[in-house]
């Protein structure tokens, strides 16, 4: 049984309520379609569970949901909070806008609040840097020296790792903020598309399922500022205008190329949100149509990446020093 978020690789936590599926503190389920998700408390995204771990757990969720007196619900979606602390989201037959609001509203709203807090903190730091820089200039420091300190800060921010793209067993590509500018969707025929991605090891073009999975990780970083409820609704409308999530990537790839090879990071916010939603829904559609091996692979990759001890944010020079120190001191008992 997997216990790590496919998307951010954080632990999903535990519950002592659903005996057949003791993973997660917030579960979403669709009893009609037989779907069960674990909602990550860290990134708020929904992890679709493997088929063999799903059916009996869904029955348990349904019984618990119906037995809970205090619950909030519409005709299509309900939310119940159990005394033990577990939250259950029951999906009926929602229209896409309502389902999207429930599924993506929390995570995108959380990202938006985090971005606002980080922006305010950055403003305070920047103001402090300007005040401190003015003091340094008055004390005799040169303007290039002060500006150089600000430039170093920006360079460090651009080198921050924002995504880890699985690329086989115990191997992944590291994508940094500076790499996002070069990421682009490319058309391949009438309906197909590919993802061109720059990473620490160079540049690679992904197609098919790997392109979809890589896009899901990448778009979470590109959409880090979150979205309002109105923007979520607009994004849903864009998907519906094309007809289906599986066609939206090809549509955007062709339009971006026609408009001058626009990169993903420079697409309108609603388009980027619609791409992230489409990536999630298309991945799950493929899984439920027989590609469950792909879903299992994603969970296994998430488990492996989470188990890797070295932090990607540690600079290469520091990591090399640690490796040398370990070699000198020998393994610990």
- Give the Cα separation of 28 and 45 in Å (integer): 11
The pLDDT assigned to 125 comes to 46
Residue holding tokens 């730091």? 125
Asked whether the predicted pLDDT for residue 250 surpasses 60, the reply is: yes
| Residues 235, 46, 215, 157, Cα dihedral to 10° | 90
With contact defined as beta carbons under 8 Å apart, do 42 and 33 qualify? no
The pLDDT assigned to 323 comes to 63
The pLDDT assigned to 99 comes to 66
Identify the top-confidence range among 3-12, 97-106, 163-172, 320-329. Answer: 3-12
pLDDT confidence band for 296 (50 / 70 / 90): low
- In three-state secondary structure terms, 295 is helix
Asked which of 73-77, 94-98, 268-272 is least confident by mean pLDDT, the reply is 94-98
**pLDDT digit string, tens, across residues 149-198:** 546 566 777 888 888 888 776 778 899 999 999 999 999 876 689 999 99
The pLDDT assigned to 232 comes to 84
- Give the Cα separation of 130 and 150 in Å (integer): 9
- Give the Cα separation of 166 and 260 in Å (integer): 30
Name the percent of the chain lying above pLDDT 90.
Answer: 28
Pairing of strands 26-30, 87-91: parallel
Name the nearest CA neighbour of 33 among 289, 236, 278.
Answer: 289
Asked which of 26-35, 43-52, 113-122, 176-185 is least confident by mean pLDDT, the reply is 113-122
- Give the Cα separation of 331 and 29 in Å (integer): 46
The pLDDT assigned to 147 comes to 47
Asked whether the predicted pLDDT for residue 124 surpasses 60, the reply is: no
Name the nearest CA neighbour of 240 among 98, 124, 144.
Answer: 98
pLDDT confidence band for 1 (50 / 70 / 90): low
What secondary structure does DSSP assign to 111-126, as a single string? HHHHHHHHHHHHHHHH
pLDDT confidence band for 81 (50 / 70 / 90): confident
Name the nearest CA neighbour of 165 among 108, 209, 104.
Answer: 209
Asked which of 10-14, 110-114, 214-218 is least confident by mean pLDDT, the reply is 110-114
- Give the Cα separation of 226 and 228 in Å (integer): 7
For residue 204, list its beta bridge partners.
Answer: 197
Residues 6 or more apart in contact with residue 56 via CB below 8 angstroms: 20, 21
255: its two tokens? 């339009």
Q: What is the mean pLDDT of the chain?
A: 77
- In three-state secondary structure terms, 144 is helix
**pLDDT digit string, tens, across residues 30-39:** 888 888 999 9
- In three-state secondary structure terms, 8 is coil
- Give the Cα separation of 39 and 278 in Å (integer): 18
The pLDDT assigned to 58 comes to 94
Instruction: Compute the average pLDDT of residues 14-31.
Output: 93
pLDDT confidence band for 44 (50 / 70 / 90): confident
Instruction: Compute the average pLDDT of residues 306-317.
Output: 54
**pLDDT digit string, tens, across residues 54-73:** 889 999 999 998 888 666 76
173: its two tokens? 């590509």
């Amino acid at each position: 049984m997997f216990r790590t978020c496919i998307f951010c690789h954080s632990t999903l936590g535990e519950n002592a309520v659903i005996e057949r599926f003791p993973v997660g503190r917030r579960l979403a389920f669709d009893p009609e379609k037989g779907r069960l998700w674990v909602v990550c408390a860290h990134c708020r995204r929904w992890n679709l569970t493997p088929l063999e771990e799903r059916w009996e757990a869904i029955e348990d969720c349904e019984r618990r949901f119906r037995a809970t007196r205090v619950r909030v619900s519409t005709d299509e979606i309900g939310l119940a909070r159990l005394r033990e602390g577990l939250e259950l989201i029951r999906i009926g037959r929602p229209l896409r806008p309502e389902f999207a609001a429930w599924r993506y509203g929390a995570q995108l709203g959380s990202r938006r609040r985090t971005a606002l807090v980080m922006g305010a903190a950055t403003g305070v730091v920047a103001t402090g840097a300007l005040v401190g820089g003015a003091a340094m200039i008055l004390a005799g420091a040169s303007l290039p020296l002060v500006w150089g300190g600000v430039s170093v800060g920006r360079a460090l921010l651009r080198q921050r790792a924002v995504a880890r793209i699985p690329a086989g067993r115990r191997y992944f590509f590291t994508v940094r903020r500076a790499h996002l500018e070069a990421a682009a969707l490319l058309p391949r025929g009438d309906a197909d598309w590919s993802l061109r991605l720059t990473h620490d090891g160079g540049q690679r073009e992904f197609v098919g399922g790997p392109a979809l999975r890589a896009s899901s990780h990448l778009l979470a970083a590109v959409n880090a500022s979150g979205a309002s409820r109105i923007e979520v609704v607009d994004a849903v409308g864009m998907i519906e205008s094309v007809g289906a999530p599986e066609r939206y990537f090809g549509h955007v790839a062709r339009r971006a190329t026609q408009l001058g090879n626009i990169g993903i990071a420079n697409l309108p916010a609603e388009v980027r949100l619609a791409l992230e939603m489409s990536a999630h829904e298309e991945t799950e559609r493929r899984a439920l149509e027989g590609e469950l091996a792909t879903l299992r692979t994603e969970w296994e990759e998430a488990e492996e990446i989470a188990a890797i001890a070295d932090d990607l944010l540690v600079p290469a020079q520091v990591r090399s020093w640690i490796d040398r120190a370990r070699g000198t001191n020998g393994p610990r008992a």
